[in-house]
């Protein structure tokens, strides 16, 4: 059975990933900046009677804290098999509505949080000669998603980071995958621009998102897709099916994809 770390594990996709891991018998460390939430998830997972879960507070913007947690898990268990660099926040608003605070927070959490996780996990896995790093990006990292371009930019960066690292790691026993889900029904969508200057998209953005994409995937279904993709060592785990269709459309005609995105902007503006 595997030893795994999940960041952003107190809710949403992270919680669903941790649940899937424990359900199959793995040992999971659930981390989150919300320490109480992470502890509640771990307690619930320990009631499943299969794998084991523990919790620790972790702010992924703190590189030293990330390194300390990852090294501690390796020291405690003798190995670190799986890392899910999943923590992230949602940023919404038109470019002219956004401040540098929006940009910096997106970069600090969505991009540098993943960088810190990779920087901490990769040397451990190289030394072991095995391991799998799974970074959470978004369909927004593959398509031209407007009305939140700091989020889009960081998710594109996570895709590039992951695929580049996968190429470097391939001959050294370490696997790397990146998860690119379409809109998933998680607390992320209900808490856009957390503790940041407000825009019309701040707070609960599910209504605005429904105008552009009425289909929301569940975190539990996505976790099953992720587990399947990790087992198959997929480079890109894109879900659900309509997300893969959108990705295919971008590759076939980037210009047309931008025009489709413009229609979404117009619907939200109206």
**Confidence label for 231 from pLDDT (cuts 50, 70 and 90):** very high
Residues 92-121: what's their mean pLDDT? 97
Q: Taking the model in full, what pTM does it have?
A: 0.95
Indicate if 70 belongs to the active site. Answer: no
Q: Which of 70, 122, 151, 217 is catalytic?
A: 151
pLDDT of residue 266: 87
pLDDT at 5 over 80: yes
37 or 204, higher pLDDT: 37
Q: pLDDT by residue (tens digit) across 189-199?
A: 889 999 999 99
pLDDT at 153 over 70: yes
pLDDT at 19 over 90: yes
pLDDT at 212 over 80: no
pLDDT of residue 44: 97
Q: pLDDT by residue (tens digit) across 154-191?
A: 999 999 999 999 999 999 999 999 999 998 988 888 89
**Confidence label for 214 from pLDDT (cuts 50, 70 and 90):** low
Average per-residue pLDDT for the chain: 94
pLDDT at 40 over 60: yes
Domains and CATH numbers, the chain: 3-269 (3.40.50.720)
What single string gives the DSSP state of each residue in the chain?
Answer: --EEEETTTTSHHHHHHHHHHHHTT-EEEEEES-HHHHHHHHHHHHTTSSSEEEEEE--TT-HHHHHHHHHHHHHHHS---EEEE-------S-GGG--HHHHHHHIIIIIHHHHHHHHHHHHHHHHHT-EEEEEE--GGGTS---S-HHHHHHHHHHHHHHHHHHHHHGGGTEEEEEEEES-EESHHHHSBSTTS---TT-B--HHHHHHH----EEHHHHHHHHHHHHHTT-SEEEESHHHHHHHHHHHH-HHHHHHHHHHHHHHHH-
pLDDT of residue 187: 86
pLDDT of residue 259: 93
263 or 178, higher pLDDT: 178
């Amino acid at each position: 059975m595997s030893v795994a770390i999940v960041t952003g594990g107190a809710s949403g996709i992270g919680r669903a990933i941790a649940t899937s891991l424990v359900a199959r018998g793995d040992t999971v460390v659930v981390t989150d900046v919300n320490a109480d939430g992470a502890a509640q998830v771990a307690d619930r997972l320990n009631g499943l009677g299969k794998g084991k879960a523990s919790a620790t507070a972790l702010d992924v913007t703190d590189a030293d804290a990330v390194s300390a947690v990852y090294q501690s898990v390796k020291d405690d268990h003798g190995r670190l098999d799986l890392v899910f660099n999943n923590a992230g926040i949602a940023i919404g608003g038109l470019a002219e509505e956004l401040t540098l605070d929006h940009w910096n927070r997106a970069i600090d959490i969505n991009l540098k949080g993943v960088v810190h996780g990779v920087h901490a996990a990769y040397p451990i896995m190289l030394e072991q000669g095995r391991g799998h790093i799974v970074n959470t990006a978004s369909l927004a990292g593959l398509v031209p998603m407007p009305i939140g371009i700091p989020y889009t930019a960081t998710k594109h960066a996570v895709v590039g980071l992951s695929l580049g690292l996968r190429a470097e790691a391939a001959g050294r026993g370490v696997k790397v995958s990146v998860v690119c889900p379409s809109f998933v029904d998680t607390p992320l969508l209900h808490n856009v621009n957390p503790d940041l200057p407000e825009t019309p998209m701040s707070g609960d953005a599910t209504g605005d998102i429904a105008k552009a994409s009425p289909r929301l995937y569940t975190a539990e279904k996505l976790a099953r897709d992720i587990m399947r993709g990790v087992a198959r060592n997929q480079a890109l785990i894109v879900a659900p099916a309509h997300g893969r269709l959108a990705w295919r459309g971008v590759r076939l005609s980037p210009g047309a994809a931008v025009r489709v995105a413009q229609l979404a902007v117009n619907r939200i503006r109206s």
